[in-house]
Structure 1
Amino acid sequence: RIKKIILWAGVFSFAYGLSMELVQAILPYREFSLVDLFANTAGVVLMLLYLMARDKVKRSLR
Structure 2
Amino acid sequence: MLNELREAVRKVPFEPFWIELSSGTEIPIPHPDHVWVRERRAVIEDDRGTIHILSPLHITRIRSQPS
TM-score, normalised to structure 2's length?
0.29
Q: Which one has the bigger helix percentage?
A: 1
Q: Which one has the bigger strand percentage?
A: 2
Larger radius of gyration: 1
TM-score, normalised to structure 1's length?
0.30
